[in-house]
Amino acid sequence: MRDDTLVVPEFGVVPASSVRRTLAGTERQVIDLVERAYRDHGDRLTANPPSYFLRFPDRPAARIIALPASIRGDAAVDGLKWISSFPANTAAGIPRASGVLVLNDPATGHPYACLEASLISAARTAASAVLAADWLTRGGSRPVRVGYVGCGLIARTIHSYFTATGWSFESVAAYDAVPANAARFAPGVVVHDTAEELMRACDLVVFATVAATPHVSAPEALERHPLVLHVSLRDLAPELIAEAANVVDDVDHCLRAGTSLDLAQQLTGGRAFVDGTLYDVMTGKAEVRRDRPVIFSPFGLGVLDLAVGKFVYETARAQGELGIVPDFFPAKSS
């Protein structure tokens, strides 16, 4: 028996210009969306299988990642982020990351939107970092000296989210493998010669690099017990991870694919060094230890992209910025 209640949705495209306009000034709203997605994930209202890494023997520094995911409930959406990282692009003045986010209708399975994904990915990454900094410093003093290791789009977006949501810092420091990137990171920025030097000068450190293997191993880099937002996941030596208080967004996702936490798991033979997830902290199931450095390592769950992407899609559609592609799907079957 045919179900006439199911309708094939229109297929729309949201380019980078519309994504940028839609996200402008919405930092607090995006942080709320990301927190809701984390809570849904912790409450088992999501499906978020392991990401798939497409690598190339002839281009070892490059990769394309597929992040499938699904959110149930009132904000139900399925979809896939397909995002590439080609570090060599920057030498040609081309962005390192590019990608698309496809949203699927939970009722019919039909894709109904394709959105530019690098800006959405940067926004949800920044929202996750600022959300974690908020929760992991509750009950203690707020950091006043922030430092960024890696000064690309992700770091700039994280800093803008801190600023837009009322964080105030006495100083902003930066280190980048390309010194000119650090020098123009922010007005009045203090440029450091090494990541370790920056870490010793800051009480909040953000790693947003393209490092494939750990490059920070000196124990004294963490001797002042900073809060570290280890966004790029592969910067810190496993020995440093093993001695810190570690909070992640998802244990299984973070402890794989050669991340610093994966290497720490191999080093220690277990996962005891992980204190819990951000969801555990938000729900009181885990406490933040203050007697050592605190490191937040977010894998970057696909459900975050879906939550932010659906918001961008709905806003663009309401504002008349959705580019409908007529007859994208075949005609209805009889």
Residue with tokens 């004294």: 220
Would you say residue 133 lies in a domain? no
Classify residue 104: in a domain, yes or no.
yes
Confidence of residue 141 (pLDDT cuts 50, 70, 90): confident
Counted domains in the chain? 2
49 backbone φψ class: left, alpha, beta (φ>0; ψ -120 to 50): beta
Average pLDDT, the chain: 94
User: Do residues 151 and 81 share a domain?
Assistant: no
Q: Which helix (H) or strand (E) holds 112?
A: strand 111-116
- In a domain, residue 59? The reply is yes
Q: How many whole angstroms separate alpha carbon 48 and alpha carbon 75?
A: 16
Q: With bands split at pLDDT 50, 70 and 90, how would you rate the model's confidence at 2?
A: low
pLDDT at 81: 97
Instruction: Say whether both 108 and 163 belong to one domain.
Output: no
Shared domain for 191 and 280, answered yes or no, is yes
187's tokens: 């007005």
User: Do 308 and 284 belong to one domain?
Assistant: no
User: Exposed, middle or buried, 291 (CB in 10 Å: 0-12/13-18/19+)?
Assistant: exposed
- Same structural domain, 187 and 228: yes
CA distances (Å), origin 149, targets 117, 130, 131, 274: 23, 16, 19, 23
90-99, pLDDT tens digit by residue? 889 888 889 9
The predicted pLDDT at position 145 comes to 97
Is residue 175 one of the residues assigned to a domain?
A: yes
Does the pLDDT value for residue 334 go beyond 90?
no
- Residue 203 pLDDT > 80: yes
Question: Between 27-42 and 153-164, two packed helices, what is the crossing angle to 10 degrees?
Answer: 100
- 24 domain residue, yes or no: yes
pLDDT at 4: 63
In a domain, residue 207? The reply is yes
The percent of residues above 70 in pLDDT, for the chain, comes to 98
Q: At what angle do helices 302-318 and 118-136 cross, to 10 degrees?
A: 120
At residue 97, the pLDDT reads 87
Residue 308 exposed, middle or buried by CB count within 10 Å (0-12, 13-18, 19+): buried
Same domain? 196 vs 270: yes
Higher pLDDT, 74 or 232: 232
Mean pLDDT of 24-36: 97
Q: Does some domain include residue 131? A: no
Question: What separation in angstroms does the CA of 148 have from each of 151, 154, 187, 209, 313?
Answer: 7, 10, 14, 9, 31
At residue 87, the pLDDT reads 86
Q: Is residue 278 in a domain?
A: yes
- Inter-residue contact 104 to 110 (CB < 8 Å): yes
C-alpha 204/C-alpha 199 separation (Å) is 8
Same domain, 35 and 154: no
Q: Determine the structural domain holding residue 114 and report its residue range.
A: 12-120+302-324
- List C-alpha distances in Å: 324 to 10, 313, 316, 318: 7, 12, 11, 13
235 close to 207: Cβ distance less than 8 angstroms: yes
Q: Distance between CA atoms of 135 and 288, rounded to whole angstroms?
A: 9
223-246 per-position pLDDT tens digit: 999 999 999 999 999 999 999 999
Q: Say whether both 62 and 173 belong to one domain.
A: no
Please tell me whether residues 52 and 106 are part of one structural domain: yes
| Residues 130, 135, 136, 137, CA torsion sign | positive
Same-domain check for residues 292 and 311: no
CATH number, domain with residue 273: 3.40.50.720
The pLDDT value recorded for residue 329 is 87
CATH number at residue 104: 3.30.1780.10
Which residue bears the tokens 């306009």?
21
116 & 195 share domain: no
Number of residues written out for the chain:
334
Asked whether residue 25 falls in the same domain as residue 97, the answer is yes
| Mean per-residue pLDDT, 139-154 | 93
pTM, full prediction? 0.93
